[in-house]
Structure 1
Amino acid sequence: MYRITVSFGIAIVLFSLYSPCEGAQQSHIFLGFSLFPETNSSSWPSASGQFKFGFYQQGSGFAVGIWLVGLDRNTTVWTANRDDPPLIPSPNNTVQLQLATDGRLVLTSKQSHEVVIASATNGSVSSASMLDSGNFVLYNANHEVVWESFNHPTDTILGGQILRAGGQLVSSLSDADHSTGRFHLNMQTDGNLVLYPANSENSPTDAYYSTDTWRNLKLDLYLNSTDGSLALINSSGVYEFISSQSDDSAIDTIYRATVSVNGVLRVYSHQMDPDTRKLQTPVIMWYKPDDPCDVNGVCGLNSYCTLSDDQPDCLCLPGSDYADLNLRTMGCLRNYSEPACAAGGKENTSFYEIFTMENMAWADTPDFTATMTMDECKKSCLEDCNCGAALFKPYTCKKQKPPLRYVRRDLNEQTAAFFKVTASSESTNNVTETVEIPPTVVRSNSIILHVLVLTLSLILFSCAALAISGFYIFKIRVLRYKRLSEIDMNLGLADEELTMRVFSYNELKRATNGFKQELGKGSFGAVYKGAVNKGRKLIAVKRLEKLVEEGEREFRAEMQAIGRTHHKNLVRLLGYSAEDSKRLLVYEYMSNGSLADLLFKREWHPAWDERVRIAVDVARGLLYLHEEWIRGTRGYLAPEWQKNTPISVKADIYSFGIVLLEIVCCRRNLDVSVRADEIVLSTWVYKCFVNRELHKLIVGGEEVNKKSLETMVKVGLWCIQDEPALRPSMKSVVLMLQGVTEVAIPPCPTTMSM
């Protein structure tokens, strides 16, 4: 965040936006006008038709609110009396919303009698209007606003709307149920904007995001209707920007800031489709917190949050089960009863044991903190009646009473968490059972002599066994070294060519902390983050996990293809391990993450020029590999992999074509979260190309070079042709992307995709 000073003149312009009717088009609703659900008269639209006020369906009934009319689906932005049950009309229950002659906006039904939706507190009402800003207002006879929905927000503020100091936004219970949810955003009177879980004390421990702007200043939250920026403002103008500004055109874009069901604050932009004049699927411009598992309370008591496909998932902590399997976010309950504590608060340690989990964290204030070793921390929690779990981070031990809250798994946290659980029957028996050993009675000197002889015999036998074992261990090590050398020769790696390091399996297991942190997964195994040279050098370890025969072929192919390569656009192979059936490859660690992370997992995407450069660099790397190839991951495989036809370098061309289209559109080849006709990227791209609508491929209306966009799309379509012979060579691809050679109009990639 950064601070900015605004001149007095700009402040006047800004505060002119406070008035909900300045320059806004409107449609008038007069006294006596009524709405009825399930009819053509169920809503009052704004002049542009982008917003509607009236009845919307919620469950089996209807609620009253305001929604944004979208191309695919509507977005509810305000709900009246949100915790009232939905109204269910029937022949015996007529539901009506009316601007009554006394100026009150009243909901009537036999089910709930009369409910006041809005009324004036400072004068009489003569009319109402649904404005194009998304604000529903009541006017007096002088056409002055005497009530407005903008002053009573639920989970959303719209462009031009202000959340006053002391106000709050409260999330909805679910995407289908807009009653009060589990999180709220407070614009505090001390000037700090803070996100809290509901049913908390709103303490610093409960907060999971704040702007840290507490200065005992009266600040308001304002969403700019022109560029979508979220800012804190005071009487002098903008005090501090929270989110970045958008480059979208304000004429065809509507902005909203919403506290989501899962507690994340997001700013969305809704662009208008130039043909249908309806709003397209919203684009996320900004969000906090960055990790959805950082939301305190996203998972209930005695459960922890972990990411699954970038979405928060709630799992029970050891020693507990779900309170409701159908509502995993509700938390978990202990699955055992506790025995009474011994005198002095000492625990009955025979009843418990410690279950250890790594990379855990929780935001709750610890009940006890001290400096100690890991073993001391574990023992301290086991013996403490009040300890339900302990978190160890060198060399600090934090003990926590049950129930546990705000727990999450974070692979960046180098911690060990110790959870007290009931001991298994085997371990309990081992602890509680005792074995009585009968005393030995020495009866004579003869017995003593026999014992001494037997003892000396056992000692001599043990020494002989150790000597023989040492000899065979030495022989096994020599044979293993020879076997590794033979593997190197079989792989065709001569001594002068083999500059890679040979690792042992245990060495790589230690380097990756037991293969804990997974970086990604391919068709033959996963890649894990590790460190060697006492943690000074980071590495990426690929563990081949398929069948031995298949893994051996993969191992040999990858060693031959990459072992001798040296190119700035290729990841360098540093070494390998080949013990027994275990096959591991050690690569240099790419600290900036994968291309998928860059394109799909960030709140912002690389600029167009950067994406063009990435595409060319990837093409150059493949060109350098020349005729070397490795089977790839499903989704990027050429059609010939599924057929009984020969495989050539053209399979790599196909994979590159899919990646090239992903770089252009900043989305995956298969995405089920979009419209049905856009799920398969290659099919959608060709459709847009034929219809001359390539602008639809660019996320958020980004400014791009139209010529380079068309070039990259055409090259991508040529690369994914179903017939391998139609695909260009990598050399031709590089020349086309660099603009050296012209790109012809590609045919349809495959009849199957259309």
Structure 2
Amino acid sequence: MGALTLHILTLFFLQARSVFANVDLFSTLYTNNSDAWLSSSGEFAFGFRQLNGTSTSLFTLAVWYDKIPDKTIVWSAEKEDNNPAEAPAGSHVELSSQGLTLRSPLGESLWTTGQEYGDVSSGAMLDNGNFVLVNTSSTIVWESFKFPTDTLLPNQSLELDGKLTSRFTESNYTKGRFQLYFQEKEGHDVLMLSPLAWPSEYRYNSYLNIDTPAGSTSSRLVFDQSGNIYVETTNRDEWGSGSCGYNSICSIQNQRPTCNCPDGYSFVDPSNEFGGCQPNSAQLLCGADMEGTTQARPEELYELLISREINFPLGDYERIQPCSQQDCQRSCLHDCMCSAAVFGYPTCWKKRLPLINGRVEKGPTLVFIKTRVSPLTAFTKNEDQAKPILWGSLIGSLVVNSILLATVILLILLKPKRILQVAPASLLETNLHSFTYQVLQHATQNFSEELGRGACGIVYKGQLEAHSSNVVAVKRLDRLGQEQEKEFKAELSAIAKTCHKNLVQLIGFCDEGIHRLLVYEYMSNGTLADFIFGQTKPIWSDRIRLALGIASGLVYLHEECENPIIHCDIKPQNILIGKDSTAKISDFGLAKLLLSDQSRTNTMIRGTKGYVAPEWFKNVPVTVKVDVHSFGVMLLEIICCRRSVIPMESGEEEKAILMDWAYDCYTEGRVDALVENDKEALADIGRLQKWVMIAIWCIQENPEMRPTMGMVKQLLEGFVEVPNPPSPYYSN
């Protein structure tokens, strides 16, 4: 496996000279000779190198060390998929005023530096390993250093939009299994090193993170002339919960962030100003503040502290426009969910806790911070009139309470003891957004545009007016019996604590009266069923990427969640495809959670015909292996681009049941029949053979014979050899 290398030179490395070994316009290099454009010192060369050593007739454009025997390549021309630009024998590269162009023997353009780099006057191979194109003013308009492949050289930087990807092997320059890159995390860029789900671009969890100090963000990775490697940082343009924590106000003083709390708030930890702030008064609870104070108005219970030159620009849950300052204040006072409001004529933005991205910001806006008024302060004006009544009430209540207390104690002593059950955590303790039914009814235009139907309900398309995820999918549960209530709680509890690239994100829910709804991120590209069962067969590489993504999502559910989750209904209709063509597992309406000390559970038959595992029909406890079985069936469908059970014409009955046909094809040595004329799949016959074998292992009748999803993923990726599978039926 190729290594991701940073070539660190010796301490006596020559200082990079700015002497250009000029390459004139219309200069040309061909693959069939050993010519190259050299740097003035002869250290580096630019030209053609054979791919995979001398075993092929394919070449690529490259920069290499020319004074060492190995001629180590430090840069190569790449296509958009990070693989080398391959050129057959007889190709050539030419320098013109439009830049460099690599052409095939027939004159076809195979790679170019791009038309935006016009007016080129010459090129040069510099002594630091950078090949540059310059204009008539000797200004560099293109350079290889800006497009690194798998190597950084001294004096070279990795910019925020760049990445280093390892080669597959030492002699194979196709993209490999590791990548160094910048990724935005909590509002700033972090340098990460991750393994790749080869051959796709999907990154697994990183095992190296280089973060930046509070108040700053990454700008580039620098490899300097002395051999030092470091992340260069700049001051952050935007601050908030990332630097100062929630409910804080961030400002920059002496090029460092300074955190303060707004009026009515204080630091959670006085010794840590970056730890966030908390309200000085108790949390505001809808309805609870009015109990026993029927004559109290919100204006008597709360007050609004006015602050200037600060702002909370993100996280508003409601916007009122047009609105006056008085209307904005009144709306926040009378809304028990409102903790602050920002007013800038003619708009009022209402915020709930926690307040995020607070910052010092000069401008005409006003911020109203809502705090509770002390009960004694609120009613001081009525204190004198209330004294006789209070004393009478106090004496009466003491007598009544004494009688009640004695009664309760007597009942407790006489009542048989039993073990108390601790109630589960409230759903409101999650980070999900709680929507009213009216809001979702409005967002879906009274549930008019249907996206799909399932066993648990109907999914509608909706659009939220004041939310970070504007277009959403709203699942309306259509049965309200006791079993349906369990389904709702299961789905909500299962997804609320999950977070993975290959799981559909649950944004919020509605639990109001008889209404039970779930709000998901909207998947713009339909389902996996639409993708693989459509008119046109999708390309093999896309099917590979989707299958690996689904496997990653199931590994997360089974092995990486706090409590393992059995999905119970894995099928193509429950795999959605996002705008970036990422496969995401959806529909947790049938999900079943396993407690930390469980490995199996008893439940009623769940799932969809054609995908359910045999143990569902045997009245035995089920495990995560039921999902493995369903995945195996779906993997065969992805491979073959056909449904698991279809009616066949006379003479083709053997193909009707996909699982049977696939096993027959495997045992008879004709797996190519499963993909018919799919040239790309047939060109990858080794993987095709192995994946069919993996699917057969997954659909074994005996669940103990099936691999875990973690093992399935390793088998799919080629990290573990696939043993020959037995017949999936009648195994003991």
One fold, TM greater than 0.5? no
Q: Shorter-chain TM-score: what band?
A: 0.3 to 0.5
TM-score (norm 2): 0.35
